[in-house]
């Protein structure tokens, strides 16, 4: 599985990960509170806000990605 860097993840990265996991948009984006249509917009080039990037790393990243994202939220990482 691809690593998710919450600082640099793009919609194209999210699309690649979603396809790798063989999930539809609702299954991939829903757990982090993004609608299917919102996820589609991100996958097609709309910038991902920082909270969405962090949630992607927590929900769909590796354990290390999740830990880094949580540390960022807590202000423990730069």
| Spatial separation of the C-alpha atoms in residues 74 and 36, rounded to whole Å | 28
pLDDT at 59: 95
Burial class (CB in 10 A: 0-12, 13-18, 19+), 30: middle
pLDDT at 1: 65
pTM for the whole thing? Answer: 0.89
pLDDT at 66: 93
| Spatial separation of the C-alpha atoms in residues 40 and 10, rounded to whole Å | 12
Per-residue pLDDT for the chain (78 aa), expressed as one digit of tens each?
678 999 999 999 999 999 999 999 999 999 999 999 999 999 999 999 999 999 999 999 999 999 999 999 999 865
Residue 71 and residue 37 in contact, taking contact as beta carbons nearer than 8 Å: no
């Amino acid at each position: 599985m691809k690593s998710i860097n919450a600082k640099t993840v793009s919609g194209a990265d999210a699309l690649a990960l979603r396809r790798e996991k063989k999930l539809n948009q609702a299954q991939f984006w829903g757990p982090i509170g993004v609608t299917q249509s919102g996820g589609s917009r991100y996958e097609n080039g709309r910038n991902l806000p920082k909270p969405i990037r962090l949630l992607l790393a927590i929900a769909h990243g590796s354990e290390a990605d999740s830990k880094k994202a949580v540390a960022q939220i807590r202000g423990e990482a730069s």
